[in-house]
């Protein structure tokens, strides 16, 4: 039986006083890739931020279990140290902080070997960014590759990836997909939020479960072959309509 | 200019900063040697550059006493001169040509007091033509005496084609002294010469600080300054002025970390008086406690074509600090291009959240952000100087979250 690294047990998420997602259940096993899809505003980013503990997103009920330990109320830095790390959709510019120095600091904090840093840097093609300031004056692809790099650099047990494919060209998409494959092979579990079926197809052989979130709830979860054809055929709203009428035969 | 005119100026306040009654402070009647080395070490530690600087110092003055003055081989081989100003003006026939030429003794009460009662305390540095003194020269000016007026007159002459990297640390021990520091500095940068000047200040909440600096940069010369103040003060007011001749360049960087109830009126002024001259003013201001920072930046062009740029950024921690950014650009030349940008804000929550999600505790995240904000990467500063600046910024950032 596959060891569960991250479990969301009846998790409901609020932004301020507004509940945006209700009763989400999910179990992500060791080296598993789960994908979360859904239309804009369906709560995907809210879920990732709340799980990590980024304000103003909050888990208002339910539990987040990392390796069986309840970390629901832990701050983001404690979760990161325990192996639950978020790759942000829009990482902010951190003025005056040089990428190379930041990488050194992360490697020191997470006790990561230089050979691993170099290998990851090579896969994600970020070596030339080391003298730049963090995310300052970078293209969309550079920002996404760098954020993926910084996240995987920590050797997380579980990485939550918030649209690492948005706004990137096909080359960067392939590069990021290669890095995600490497991370899975090295023992990291992934929860990937994406709008793009293209990225899912690139990682098809690694995908364990695809979750569809719609209208503030988890609509369905299934294998690649169960979910992707339905999404392609009906779209998210069509899928939701079918479910509201009693589901698929 | 008569002595009477200077005496009259003793009641002339500065147009900027709080007016201070000079009667609060006493000047020393005679030079009493200080042997308080432990106090000097404490000050050096507070400057964030460590007491090692005392061993390397080329000039160390505590109160009015010159404690150490090394004419090391590194200087002698260039024919450079480091002397107390008083001694230089007495011994070198040409030295008076550089005294009180850039700073008018009647400018305000602080300058007048230094002219009349300062007895030419301070340092005099001369670098002969084409001598490239790349290894930094360290000068330290410390105060340990209470209710004392340290009135200094510093003169630096970098002759044509020469180079000098000067680092000056000024401070007091980490305890009340209630004193006044006035430093009159006249800097002469010759044709195609270069002076980089780093000044680090570590004062106390009851200190009054009034530096007065004017630099003249001749044709094709370059002046790069880096000023850091990160301690509480009662008040600090300074508005250094750099006059650029034809094709001369200047970059003035300042990092002000306000604390306590201190008033920091810190400006920089560049006069583009020669065709082809260019000047840049970069300032970073961090307002903490109940401090008030008035960041004045002024670039004036009187000759074109010339270029000037001001960048003034402020970061406020807490709700009681104040930062006023006062950029001013003016031109009487149609060929001058002058620009400015200014912004003031607080530490963004999204930055803290981001760093926390990468494993930094909240106070560590603040420290990283502050360090980044204060770090002005100045490519024109030599690596040895950047090392000192980085160490100082690390020191500030490590104490940023109190």
Chain B residues touching residue A76 (CB < 8 angstroms): 353, 356-357
**What pLDDT, on the 0 to 100 scale, is given for residue B49?**
54
pLDDT of residue B402: 38
Look at residues B138, B128, B136 and name the one whose alpha carbon lies nearest to residue B77.
B128
Asked if B357 lies within 8 A of A55 by C-beta distance, the reply is no
Tell me, what CATH number does A150's domain have? 3.40.50.300
Contact A6, A59 (CB under 8 A): no
B278-287 sheet: strands from edge to edge: B65-69, B59-62, B132-142, B163-171, B194-202, B222-229, B249-258, B278-287, B306-316, B336-346
Which residues is B69 bridged to in the sheet? B59
The verdict on residue A62 lying in a domain is: yes
The complex scores an ipTM of 0.95
A and B: number of Cβ contacts within 8 A: 68
Return the closest-CA partner of residue B135 out of B207, B56, B81, B66: B56
Q: Tell me the average pLDDT across A78-89.
A: 97
**Residue-level pLDDT, tens digit, chain B, 402 residues:** 788 999 999 999 999 999 999 999 988 655 555 556 666 667 766 665 555 555 666 777 777 666 666 655 667 788 998 889 999 999 999 999 999 999 999 999 999 999 999 999 999 999 999 999 988 888 888 888 889 899 999 999 999 999 999 988 888 887 778 999 999 999 999 999 999 998 988 888 999 999 999 999 999 999 999 998 988 899 999 999 999 999 999 999 999 999 999 999 999 999 999 999 999 999 999 999 999 999 999 999 998 899 999 999 999 987 899 999 999 999 999 999 999 999 999 888 999 999 999 999 999 999 899 888 888 766 666 676 677 677 777 777 766 543
For residue B230, what is the DSSP state?
A: -
Compute how many other C-beta atoms are within 10 angstroms of the C-beta atom of residue A56: 13
Query: Is the pTM for the entire model greater than 0.80?
Result: yes
Any B CB within 8 A of A101 CB: no
**Taking the domains of chain B in order of start, what are their residue ranges?**
3-346, 347-402
Coil, strand or helix at A215: coil
Structural domain count of chain A: 1
The whole-angstrom separation of Cα A127 and Cα A165 is 20
Chain A nearest-CA distance from B14, in A, is 35
Q: Which helix (H) or strand (E) holds B56?
A: helix B52-56
Residue range of the domain that includes A141: 4-244
pLDDT score recorded for residue B250: 97
Q: What whole-number distance in Å separates Cα of residue B230 and Cα of residue B228?
A: 6
A146: its two tokens: 């760098």
The span from the CA of A133 to the CA of A122, in Å, is 19
**pLDDT of A144-192, one tens digit each?**
999 999 999 999 999 999 999 998 888 999 999 999 999 999 999 999 9
Residue of B282, B352, B354 to mutate for A, most A C-beta atoms under 10 A? B354
Closest to A142 in 3D by CA, of A128, A156, A155, A131: A128
**Among A41, A5, A46, residue whose Cα is nearest residue A26:** A5
Q: Which residue in A has a C-alpha nearest to residue B365's C-alpha?
A: A77
- Which residues 330-349 of chain B have a CB within 8 Å of chain A? 348-349
pLDDT class of A20 with cuts at 50, 70, 90 = very high
Domain-located, residue A249: no
Q: Among all residues of chain A, which has the CA nearest to that of B377? A: A96
pLDDT given for residue B139 in this prediction = 84
Are A100 and A131 in contact by the 8 Å Cβ rule? The answer is: yes
How many Å lie between the alpha carbon of B260 and the closest alpha carbon of chain A? 26
Asked whether the beta carbons of residue B355 and residue A94 sit closer than 8 angstroms, the reply is yes
**B1 part of contact set with chain A, CB < 8 Å:** no
Domain assignment of residue A23, yes or no: yes
Q: Is residue A79, in this structure, part of any structural domain at all?
A: yes
Binary contact (A76, B371; C-beta < 8 A) = no
Of B175, B179, B82, nearest to B136 (Cα)? B82
Searching chain A, which residue's CA lies closest to the CA of residue B368? Answer: A97
* pLDDT of the residue at A248: 59
Q: Does A245 touch chain B (CB under 8 A)?
A: no
Per-residue confidence (pLDDT) for residue B173, from 0 to 100: 80
Of B349, B361, B376, the CB nearest to A55: B349
Average pLDDT over residues A132-145: 94
């Amino acid at each position: 039986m596959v060891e569960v690294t991250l479990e969301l047990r009846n998790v409901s998420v609020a932004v301020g006083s507004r509940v945006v997602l209700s009763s989400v259940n999910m179990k992500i096993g060791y080296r598993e890739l789960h994908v979360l899809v859904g239309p804009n505003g369906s709560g995907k980013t809210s879920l990732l931020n709340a799980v990590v503990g980024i304000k103003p997103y909050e888990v208002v009920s339910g539990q987040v279990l990392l390796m069986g330990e309840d970390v629901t109320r832990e701050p983001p830095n404690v979760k990161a140290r325990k192996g639950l790390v978020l790759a942000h959709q829009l990482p902010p510019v951190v003025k005056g902080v040089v990428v190379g120095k930041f990488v050194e600091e992360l490697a020191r904090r997470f006790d990561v070997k230089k050979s691993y840093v170099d290998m990851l840097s090579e896969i994600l093609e970020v070596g030339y960014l080391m003298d730049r300031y963090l995310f300052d004056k970078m293209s969309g692809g550079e920002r996404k590759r760098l954020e993926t790099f910084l996240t995987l650099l920590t050797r997380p047990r579980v990485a939550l990836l918030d649209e690492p494919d948005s706004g990137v060209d096909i080359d960067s998409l392939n590069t990021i997909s290669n890095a995600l494959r490497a991370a899975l092979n090295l023992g990291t579990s992934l929860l990937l939020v994406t709008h793009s079926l293209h990225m899912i197809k690139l990682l098809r052989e690694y995908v364990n479960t695809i979750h569809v979130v719609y209208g503030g709830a988890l609509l369905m979860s299934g294998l690649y072959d169960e979910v992707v054809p339905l999404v392609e055929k009906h779209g998210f709203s069509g899928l939701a309509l079918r479910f509201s009428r009693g589901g698929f035969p | 200019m008569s002595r009477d005119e200077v005496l009259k100026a003793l009641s002339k306040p500065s147009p900027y900063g709080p007016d201070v009654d000079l009667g609060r402070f006493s000047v020393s009647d005679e030079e009493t040697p200080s042997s308080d080395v432990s106090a000097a070490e404490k000050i050096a530690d507070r400057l964030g550059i460590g007491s090692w600087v005392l061993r390397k110092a080329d000039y160390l003055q505590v109160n009015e006493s010159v404690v150490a003055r090394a004419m090391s081989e590194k200087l002698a081989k260039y024919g450079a001169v480091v002397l107390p100003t008083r001694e230089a003006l007495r011994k070198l026939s040409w030295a008076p040509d550089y005294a009180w030429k850039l700073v008018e003794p009647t400018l305000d009460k602080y300058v007048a007091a230094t002219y009349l009662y300062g007895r030419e305390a301070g340092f005099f540095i001369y670098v002969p033509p084409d001598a490239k003194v790349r290894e930094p020269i360290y000068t330290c000016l410390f105060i340990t005496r209470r209710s004392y007026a340290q009135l200094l007159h510093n003169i630096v002459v970098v002759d044509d084609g020469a180079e000098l990297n000067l680092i000056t640390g000024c401070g007091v021990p980490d305890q009340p002294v209630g004193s006044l520091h006035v430093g009159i500095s006249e800097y002469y940068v010759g044709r195609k010469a270069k002076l980089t000047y780093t000044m680090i200040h570590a004062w106390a909440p009851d200190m009054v600080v009034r530096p007065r600096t004017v630099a003249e940069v001749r044709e094709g010369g370059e002046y790069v300054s880096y000023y850091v103040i990160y301690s509480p003060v009662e008040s600090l007011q300074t508005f250094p002025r750099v006059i650029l001749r034809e094709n001369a360049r200047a970059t003035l960087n300042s990092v002000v970390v306000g604390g306590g109830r201190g008033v920091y009126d810190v400006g920089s002024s560049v006069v583009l008086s020669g065709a082809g001259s260019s000047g840049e003013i970069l300032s970073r201001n961090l307002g903490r406690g109940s401090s008030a920072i008035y960041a004045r930046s002024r670039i004036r062009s009187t000759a074109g074509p010339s270029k000037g740029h001001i960048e003034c950024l402020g970061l406020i921690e807490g709700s009681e600090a104040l930062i006023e950014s006062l950029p001013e650009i003016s031109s009487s030349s149609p060929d001058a291009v002058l620009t400015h940008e200014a912004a003031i804000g607080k530490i963004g929550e999204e930055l803290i959240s981001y760093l926390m999600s990468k494993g930094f505790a909240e106070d560590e995240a603040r420290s990283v952000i502050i360090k980044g904000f204060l770090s002005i990467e100045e490519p024109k500063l030599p690596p040895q100087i950047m090392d000192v600046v980085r160490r100082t910024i690390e020191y500030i950032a490590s104490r940023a979250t109190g």
